[in-house]
């Protein structure tokens, strides 16, 4: 059984993860427009991963008799000043998600919801990895500044990223 507070917070987090997916798909489209197909691929993988995050919470609610209530997904940005700006926006957003996950964990602890705490542990580790990856990309982009060859090389590298289903879904 879920407490009303935890159930509502988990539904809000499903929405936040779907919003993240939407944001990254919008970023992918922007990158395509800039001729950066590799970066677009990186964001398309990100888009899929965010949908996995929403599904992990969805399945957790369903498995324990909770109610899933899907809310509208708010509009996302469609324009950025540069590829660097896109990744800076990504880091700001991921930091926001980290604080949402931390708040959720604190709530689950307060409500003595041990199963939800256990489910959220995967997200806590995932956020550390997400922030670290984006920080590295921002450092690289700052290093190359306006160097076209540098951008070409980073784009090529990001084009190699492949999607792997999130571990909590893959083990089913």
Site string for ligand FEO, 98-137 (x = CB under 6 A): --------------------------------x-------
Q: Is 17 in the site for ligand FEO (CB under 6 A)?
A: yes
Q: Single out the residue of 38, 74, 9, 14 nearest to residue 157, CA to CA.
A: 38
Alpha carbon distance 82, 34 (integer Å): 9
94 binds ligand FEO (CB under 6 A): yes
50 touches ligand FEO by CB under 6 A: yes
Rule CB under 6 A: say whether 44 interacts with ligand FEO: no
**Is residue 102 within 8 Å of residue 160, measured between CB atoms?**
no
Using CB under 6 A, count the residues that bind ligand FEO. 7
CB-nearer residue toward ligand FEO: 133 or 140: 133
Query: CA 32 from chain center: how many Å?
Result: 20
| Alpha-helix residue ranges (DSSP H) falling in 34-147 | 37-63, 83-110, 114-144
DSSP state letter for 72: P
CB of 1 to ligand FEO, least distance (A): 26
Residue located via tokens 């324990």: 64
Q: In this chain, which residue has its C-beta nearest to ligand FEO? A: 53
Q: Which residues bind ligand FEO (CB under 6 A)?
A: 17, 20, 50, 53, 94, 97, 130
């Amino acid at each position: 059984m879920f407490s009303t507070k935890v159930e509502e917070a988990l539904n809000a987090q499903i929405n936040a993860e779907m919003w993240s997916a939407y944001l990254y798909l919008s970023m992918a489209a922007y990158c395509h427009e800039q001729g950066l197909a590799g970066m677009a691929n990186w964001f398309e993988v990100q888009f899929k991963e965010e949908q996995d995050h929403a599904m992990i919470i969805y399945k957790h609610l369903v498995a324990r008799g909770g109610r899933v209530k899907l809310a509208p997904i708010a509009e996302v940005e469609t324009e950025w000043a540069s590829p660097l700006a896109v990744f800076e926006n990504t880091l700001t957003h991921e930091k926001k998600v980290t604080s949402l996950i931390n708040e959720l964990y604190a709530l689950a602890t307060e409500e003595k919801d041990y199963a939800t705490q256990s489910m959220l542990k995967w997200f806590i580790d995932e956020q550390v990895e997400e922030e670290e990856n984006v920080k590295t990309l921002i450092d690289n982009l700052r290093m190359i500044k306006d160097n076209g060859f540098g951008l070409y090389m980073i784009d090529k590298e990001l084009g190699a990223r492949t999607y792997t289903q999130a571990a909590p879904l893959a083990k089913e």
